[in-house]
Structure 1
Amino acid sequence: MHPSPAPDASPSGDVRLRAVRRADHPFLLALYGSVRAPELRGCLWPRRQKDAFIADQFRLQQAHYRRAHPGADYWVVDRIDEGGAWIPIGRLSLDRSESEWHLIELSLLPAERGCGRGTTLVHWIQQAAEAGAADAVGLHVEIDNSAAIRLYARA
């Protein structure tokens, strides 16, 4: 197992990682909903049914991650807003318990996508893996997630 970065690890000057806290649940659920929103756009379910579906899928995803990657790090990605306060903008889950690290999840709010933050985080993971003597960093991407495929191809 590789050592964890210091609390509030900082991949860049205006972005930091911090351990997920219980109080982050509403944010993480909303983030998950924003990631799944494109799938549900054409769905004719009422809003309440979509919300229940998202909540259930989020719960199942989290349970799966914890079972499949019990030694993983689960972080909230924060950035500094215009007023100088740290605000949550995403989630990063990384399993460093084996010689090949596994990037479980990198999700950002829609407003934070496409502005280089994902690339910064992937580069930070690559540098940390090299410094931690990891053999490689692996990940899985859904075949229809073209934005993620472009991100990882750039990095």
Structure 2
Amino acid sequence: MHALPLSDLAHVLTSLPAPCQLRLQRDDDDDFAAALYRSTRDDLRQMPAEPAVIEQLIAMQQRMQSHGYRQAYPHAAYLVLQHGDTPIGRLILDRQGEVLHLVDIAILPAAQGQGAGSAVLRGLQAQAGAQQCRIHLAVNKSNTAARALYQRLGFRLRGENEVQEQLEWKAP
């Protein structure tokens, strides 16, 4: 494995609709990362428990996810998707040989459906195609909107378990 230089993401960076941009995640993005993670965990917020307990559980799950990603993908690029100066999402990418692994992509609910996620994915596809790479990702089966987007963009099923589908895209 090797680190994924930001220069390898040129197609992604140039494909974003103005005023969206990607930048490397910084230490001062921790609060945003926590808020973004919380926004993806409606499943936990629906549990029959005290709100404080649920918030502790969400924080614990975020720490476990972050630790797991850093263990499994030590050379991954952590990127923040911004609309102007406002962070709206995050992307974690890892390149392993001929596979560009989209470890995680998350966009705040208020920013979804506005084209930024599609543009990021199309940019990744352009980059992967130019480098003759495949893109791998996993998506929760319950995330019907993301699954539909991936299908529209040509991702195909390469495996599944009870919770997730593993998808692949390769240039035609």
Please indicate the TM-score interval, normalised by the length of the shorter structure.
Answer: 0.7 to 0.9
Instruction: Report if aligned partners of 1:11, 1:17 keep a CA contact under 8 Å in 2.
Output: no
Q: Distance in 2 between matches of 1:17 and 1:59?
A: 23
- Please give the secondary structure, in 1, of the residue aligned with 2:41: helix
**Where do 1:63-74 residues align within 5 Å?**
63-74=67-78
Q: Distance in 2 between matches of 1:71 and 1:97?
A: 9
Report the AA paired with residue 55 of structure 2. Answer: D
Which of 111, 116, 135 aligns to 2:133? It is 135
Instruction: Report if aligned partners of 2:95, 2:101 keep a CA contact under 8 Å in 1.
Output: yes
Would you identify which runs of 4 or more consecutive aligned residues in structure 1 move more than 3 Å? 6-11
Instruction: Classify 1:44/1:3 alpha carbon distance in 2 versus 1 (closer, same or farther; 3 Å).
Output: closer
Residues 99-150 of structure 1, C-alpha deviations (whole Å, 9 max, x = no match): 111111110000111122111110011111122x142001111111111101
**Where do 1:21-40 residues align within 5 Å?**
21-37=26-42, 39-40=43-44
Report the CA distance between 1:98 and its aligned residue: 2.3
Q: Distance in 1 between matches of 2:106 and 2:95?
A: 18
Instruction: Report if aligned partners of 1:76, 1:88 keep a CA contact under 8 Å in 2.
Output: yes
Higher relative CO (CA 8 A, sep ≥ 6), structure 1 or 2?
2
**Where do 1:51-66 residues align within 5 Å?**
51-66=55-70
Equivalence for 1:75: 79
Residues 36-83 of structure 1, C-alpha deviations (whole Å, 9 max, x = no match): 12x034312111111111110000000110111111111011112xxx
Identity of aligned residues (%): 34
TM-score when scaled to structure 2? 0.79
CA RMSD in angstroms comes to 1.9
Equivalence for 1:94: 93
Aligned length: 148
- Please give the secondary structure, in 2, of the residue aligned with 1:45: coil
Q: Distance in 2 between matches of 1:59 and 1:10?
A: 32
Report the AA paired with residue 79 of structure 1. Answer: H
Instruction: Report if aligned partners of 1:34, 1:109 keep a CA contact under 8 Å in 2.
Output: yes
Instruction: Classify 1:46/1:119 alpha carbon distance in 2 versus 1 (closer, same or farther; 3 Å).
Output: same
Instruction: Report if aligned partners of 1:19, 1:75 keep a CA contact under 8 Å in 2.
Output: yes
Structure 1: state its 5+ residue gaps.
81-85
Report the AA paired with residue 90 of structure 2. Answer: R
Q: Distance in 2 between matches of 1:10 and 1:2?
A: 21
Instruction: Report if aligned partners of 1:2, 1:97 keep a CA contact under 8 Å in 2.
Output: no
Which of 40, 46, 49 aligns to 1:45? It is 49
Instruction: Classify 1:126/1:2 alpha carbon distance in 2 versus 1 (closer, same or farther; 3 Å).
Output: farther
